[in-house]
Chains A and B, each alone.
Chain A
Amino acid sequence: MDREDIMEMIKESNRSVTTGMDEKDIEHWVTIYVMGKEYRVPAVLTVMQAMEYAGYRFIRSCGCRAGFCGACATVYRTKDDYRLKTAMACQTRVEDGMYLVQIPFSPAQKALGDIESEEYDANVFLKWYPEIARCLSCNTCTKACPQDIEVMDYIQAALRGDFEKVAEISFDCIQCGLCAIRCPAEIVQYHVGQLGRRMYGRYGLPREENVEKRSKEVTDKKFDEEYEKTMSLETEELQSVYVEYQKTREVY
């Protein structure tokens, strides 16, 4: 196959995701309701892509488009189901009869302070976020979490002052804010998790010896001579040094 033809074929096979979709390419359709208004959209798309197909061009509620940033937190209901469900719009396929609304922003308050001057003390959580004492243990936050994090469990751990548990349980949090929006006690869970992780990282974990030592060596200019020598090599010489290192490669 000709090389340019290959590039053309690749381009063509990706057209539906790199530009807006064309009606003639669509086999299956579903009907969705965006804030109550009905739209007919391709069945293969995510909520986000379907809204774009319908004519929305996002400013809010769209960030990484890959499930890492929490910008597209979405509340929705499916056909014949009374329950409110939550998800990331970029990570959820449309369903026929879906009613949806995107949450553009969580009006949550973050406590400001200085981690550096803080004591590694169990009361830090209550000092920064006293409202966690209002937790009703209703588990609404956990049910709302699109990352399936046991949110209530880490709030309970925060109440006990258990930094390690807070850090471990909350780690995969993408800070979308759905927990805080649903919480009847008005706790801002995701900021509490952030505080816990930073405190644990700063004070709970041991200093890592290798990096402590190496960064001091760098500050002490230990590698100056070796750098200068390596940087003075001609390209061919550097190439052979490179090949030698590749031969002693650590793979797994």
Chain B
Amino acid sequence: MSELTFIDGYPEYMYESIKKVEKTRDRRIGKLVPQMSQKQREEILGRYHPDYTEGGKRRIKHGRNEGDLAPNELVDLLEALPLVKEDDVDLDKTDYETDVLIIGGGLAGTSAALLAVESGIRPERILLVNKLRHGDSNSTMAQGGTQAADRPNDSPVIHYIDAMGGGHFTNKPDVVRALTEDAPVVVKWLCDLGVLFDRNDDGSFVELSGGGTSRKRMHACRDYTGMEELRVLKDEFKNRRINVLEFHPVIELLTDGGTVTGALLWGLETHEYRIVKAKATIIATGGFGRLHIRGFPTTNHYGATGDGIALAYRVGARLLDTDTVQYHPTGAAYPQQIIGLLLTEKLRTSGAQPVNGDGDEFVFPLEPRDVEASAIIRECYGNGKGITTPSGMRGIWLDTPLIDIINGEGTTRKSFPGMVRMFERFGIDMVKNPVLVFPTLHYQNGGVETDPYGNTNVNGLFVAGEVSGGVHGKNRLMGNSTLDCLVFGRRAGVAAAEYVKTSAVDGKLTLDHLRAYVEMLKSAGVETKRRAPVLLPDYRGRAVLARMIDVL
């Protein structure tokens, strides 16, 4: 490191490549590599996408999805023992009696709480539990936008068609309809609550395209879209005085026969358990980026360890599309401190082009994410045209200076304050120089199967957001994740309220399902000491871990 000379935050040899990118810039303006045909897309996915490359997946051996393929890290999670045994806890003393228990406080969980209140559930009869703080979620980190077909040349049906195509026509149609048809209603709802979407001078929305969208329908709040949406919903949540509990992850659901009746919480700081009784339970725990599928770095927040999917599977919920994972094409590859962090697709929407180490363009900038990511992996490893960083990562350039050249000076700073700030903190000016990128683990495409109302196949159990599966099929489009959380969070809140009022029964609180689950693992021949949910990743240094003993 100290042996290297740095120019503008880059080692000299990387800076030489930047000079090549500058040389080709003029000829690349307004001239894009054509989009791939369907056949080309299939070919490149098969050869270079981590999902389609041998060695990353295996079949689930037990339960409702026996025989389905899933990433090894997810199967590990399903093939794990519970954290507690039935005898460890006294389930006769309930700590919280609720109508609706919501697990997870991102956009989905918070929307669910607000809509449950609107549907007539009293705020004090709702409990939103969080593993970390209320709002610690991937939602907060969503940068690019929220899709909603509201412009005159667009329609929810075109949005539907785009989403189906992006998901390779494997999505669940009725759920996609709900997603796309509710979108304008959801955006209006957010505006009424005070969310500040980007506006033109005449007051109309600034709307941009995204990878795989045929119309401009991305509603953004600078590059802080998820943060702005969620901080407004959280503010409203507090104003409505809804109950919230932080630093209390759910470590097991509670059941009575086939019905979910509540949950067992564990105090992350104080280590005591607590028992919640609930007439309806909504899982909105998000995804599994922090499991580092296939050893990829991730854009996800610290708590994204796939807890919800493990909990739901134990009570018999059916999963869908577990075989695909989304790798965002443009994660940061340099500097080392920010490896894997998200560089929003909105950068490419606004004109930034992926360019190789020789300064040449090699892919249409806005292919669907899986295709775009595969093209970048091919350029680095198949064609050997990437740049290798001092830490040994390969990447290609995202030519960000184009954004100001195309849209006018100052656009990058105005539209991407978060991105500019992040690179500035590490000595790089993305307005002046390109940034190095490589695909990063971004999103759990599949999850717990749901109908258009958040219902699962288990009584009393609802899901919303990234933990669910079906709506995105095998690949999600940009701007459909915040939308997914908002639409199905709201719908699950309404459905749970309805269920409480009409069908919920006063159930017992038991962990009986655990015995059955452990038996099932045994008869499937799974021998393991792994335990789940894993709750948090562990990044402690190896030297410390090697000498750690527990004496207090």
Give residues 210-252 of A contacting B (CB, 8 Å): 210-215, 217-219, 223, 226-227, 230-231, 235, 238-239, 241-243, 245-246, 248-252
Please state if A242 and B162 are interface contacts (CB–CB under 8 Å). yes
Instruction: Report B-chain residues with C-beta under 8 Å of the C-beta of A16.
Output: 336, 391
Chain B 43-56, CB within 8 Å of chain A: the 1/0 string? 00001101001111
Q: Please choose the segment from A3-11, A135-143, A180-188 that sits at the chain B interface, where 4 or more of its residues have CB less than 8 A away.
A: A3-11
Does A17 lie at the interface of the complex (its beta carbon under 8 Å from any beta carbon of B)? yes
Verify if B552 is at the interface (C-beta below 8 Å from A).
no
Please measure, in the bound complex, the distance between the C-alpha atom of A174 and the C-alpha atom of B418, giving whole angstroms: 10
Asked if A36 is at the interface of the complex by the 8 Å CB criterion, the answer is no
Interface residue? B502 (CB, 8 A) = no
Residue-wise, chain A 192-206 has the 8 Å CB interface mask toward B (1 for contact) of 001001111110011
Question: Which residue in chain A gives the minimum CB-CB distance to B217?
Answer: A250
| Beta-carbon contact of A171 and B222 below 8 Å | yes
Query: Are A241 and B161 interface neighbours, CB within 8 A?
Result: yes
Within the assembled complex, what's the spacing in Å between the Cα atoms of A115 and B193?
8
Contacts of A238 in B (CB 8 A): 161, 164, 169
* Cβ-defined contact, B150 with A214, below 8 A: yes
* Chain B residues near A63 (CB-CB < 8 A): 132-133, 136, 140, 301-302
Residues of chain B with a CB closer than 8 A to A252's CB: 209, 349-351, 406
Q: Does A113 contact B (CB under 8 A)?
A: yes
**Chain B, interface size: which category?**
35 or more
Contacts of B418 in A (CB 8 A): 67-68, 172
CB proximity of A44 to chain B, nearest CB, Å: 5
A residues near B238, Cβ cutoff 8 Å:
110, 112
Q: Does B530 have its Cβ within 8 Å of any Cβ on chain A?
A: no
Shortest C-beta distance, A27 to chain B (Å), equals 6
Contacts of B141 in A (CB 8 A): 64, 66, 68-69
Interface contacts beyond A167-B196, A231-B174: sample of 11 additional A-B pairs, CB < 8 Å, sorted by A = A10-B50, A17-B339, A23-B541, A53-B540, A54-B544, A71-B133, A171-B222, A201-B196, A210-B152, A238-B169, A242-B161
Q: How far is the CA of A22 from the CA of B382 in the complex (A)?
A: 29
CA A235 – CA B161 in complex, angstroms? 11
Please tell me if B5 contacts chain A, counting CB pairs below 8 Å.
no
B196 touches A205 (CB 8 A): yes
CB-CB nearest in chain B for A41: B541
Whether the pair B340, A230 counts as a contact (CB closer than 8 A) is: no
List 23 A–B pairs whose Cβ atoms lie within 8 Å, in order of A's numbering.
A3-B53, A13-B393, A18-B296, A49-B539, A57-B538, A57-B540, A59-B132, A60-B269, A65-B301, A71-B136, A167-B196, A171-B221, A171-B228, A202-B194, A208-B197, A214-B150, A215-B150, A218-B181, A230-B161, A239-B38, A249-B213, A251-B32, A251-B209
Whether A230 pairs with B209 at a CB distance below 8 angstroms is no
B247 touches A215 (CB 8 A): no
A210–B205 touching, CB < 8 Å: yes
B136 and A69 contacting across the interface, CB-CB below 8 Å:
yes
Contact among A13, A28, A52, A68 with B539 in the assembled complex (CB-CB below 8 Å): A52
Q: Does B314 contact A (CB under 8 A)?
A: no
Residues in chain B near residue A207, CB distance under 8 A? 191
Q: How far is the CB of A157 from chain B (nearest CB, A)?
A: 15
Question: In the assembled complex, which residues on chain B have CB atoms less than 8 Å from the CB atom of A54?
Answer: 541, 544
Does A123 touch B at the CB level, under 8 Å?
no
Chain A contacts of B382 at CB under 8 A?
1, 6
Shortest C-beta distance, B230 to chain A (Å), equals: 10
In the complex, number of A-B residue pairs with CB atoms less than 8 Å apart: 311
Which A13-49 residues have a C-beta within 8 angstroms of B? 13-23, 27-28, 43-46, 49
Q: Report the minimum CB–CB distance from A70 to chain B (whole Å).
A: 9
Q: Which residue of A lies closest to B55 (CB)?
A: A4
Q: Are A91 and B133 in contact (CB under 8 A)?
A: no
Question: When chains A and B are docked, how far (Å) is the Cα of A1 from the Cα of B48?
Answer: 11
Interface residues of B in 189-228 (CB under 8 A from A): 191-197, 199, 203-205, 209, 213-216, 221-222, 224, 226-228
Assess whether A119 is interfacial by the CB under 8 Å rule: no
A21–B541 CB distance below 8 A: yes
Most A CB within 10 A of own CB, among B48, B160, B351: B160
Given A63-B136, A238-B169, A14 contacting B339 (CB threshold 8 A):
yes
Output the nearest chain A residue to B291 by Cβ-Cβ distance. Answer: A18
- Interchain CA distance A60-B38 in the complex, whole Å: 47
Report whether A215 and B194 are in contact in the complex, using a CB–CB cutoff of 8 Å: no
Are A44 and B1 CB-contacts (below 8 A) given A63-B302, A115-B193? yes
> Which residues in window 377-420 of B have CB below 8 A to A?
377, 381-382, 391-394, 406, 417-418
Name the interface size band of chain A.
Answer: 35 or more
B181 touches A227 (CB 8 A): yes
Q: Tell whether, in the assembled complex, residue B194 and residue A20 are in contact, meaning their CB atoms are under 8 Å apart.
A: no
Contact, CB under 8 Å: B214 / A249: yes
Q: Are A205 and B204 in contact (CB under 8 A)?
A: no
A251 touches B541 (CB 8 A): no
Q: Is the Cβ of A6 less than 8 Å from the Cβ of B53?
A: yes
- Chain A proximity of B322: nearest CB distance (Å): 19
Which A residues are within 8 Å of any B CB, using their own CB? 1, 3-4, 6-7, 9-23, 27-28, 43-46, 49, 52-60, 62-69, 71, 91-93, 110, 112-115, 147-148, 167, 171-172, 174-175, 194, 197-202, 205-215, 217-219, 223, 226-227, 230-231, 235, 238-239, 241-243, 245-246, 248-252
Closest to A69 in B: B140
A10 touches B184 (CB 8 A): no
B222: contacting residue among A43, A172, A202, A250, CB under 8 A: A172
Stretch at the interface among B94-102, B421-429, B455-463, B508-516: B421-429
On whether the beta carbons of B236 and A115 are closer than 8 Å, the reply is yes
Q: Does B466 interact with chain A (Cβ within 8 Å)? A: no
- Whether the Cβ atoms of B188 and A212 lie closer than 8 Å is yes
Query: Contact between A62 and B337 (Cβ–Cβ < 8 Å)?
Result: no
Q: Which residues of A contact B393 (CB under 8 A)?
A: 13-14
Residue of B with least CB distance to A67: B422
Give which listed residue, A6, A18, A28, A64, contacts B297 with CB less than 8 A: A18
How near does chain A come to B48, taking the closest CB pair, in angstroms?
7
Contact with A along B413-449 (1 / 0, CB 8 A): 0000110011001100000000000000000000000
Q: In the complex, A218 Cα to B213 Cα: how many Å?
A: 20
Task: Find the B residue at minimum CB distance from A247.
Answer: B214
Complex Cα–Cα for A56 and B150 (A): 48
In the docked arrangement, what's the CA distance between A22 and B540, Å? 10
Residues on A with C-beta less than 8 A from B349 are: 252
Does A250 lie within 8 Å of B209, measured CB to CB? yes
Least CB distance, B209 to chain A, in whole angstroms: 6
Q: In the complex, which residue of chain A has the Cβ closest to the Cβ of B200?
A: A208
CB distance from B8 to the nearest CB of A (A): 16
Q: Does B545 contact A (CB under 8 A)?
A: yes
Q: Tell me, yes or no, whether B549 is within 8 Å of chain A by CB.
A: no
Q: Is the CB of A208 within 8 A of B340?
A: no
| Among candidates A53, A91, A202, A219, residue contacting B185 with C-beta atoms closer than 8 Å | A219
Tell me, in angstroms, the Cα distance from A91 to B418 when the chains sit together: 11
Asked if B241 contacts A112 (CB within 8 A), the reply is yes
| Alpha-carbon gap, A64 to B304, bound state (A) | 9
Task: Kindly list the 9 A-B residue pairs having the minimum CB-CB distance in the complex, ordered from nearest.
Answer: A11-B295, A198-B194, A201-B194, A55-B544, A242-B165, A53-B541, A214-B184, A206-B203, A214-B150
Cα of A249 to Cα of B212 in the assembled complex, Å: 9
- Identify the closest chain B residue to A110 (Cβ): B238
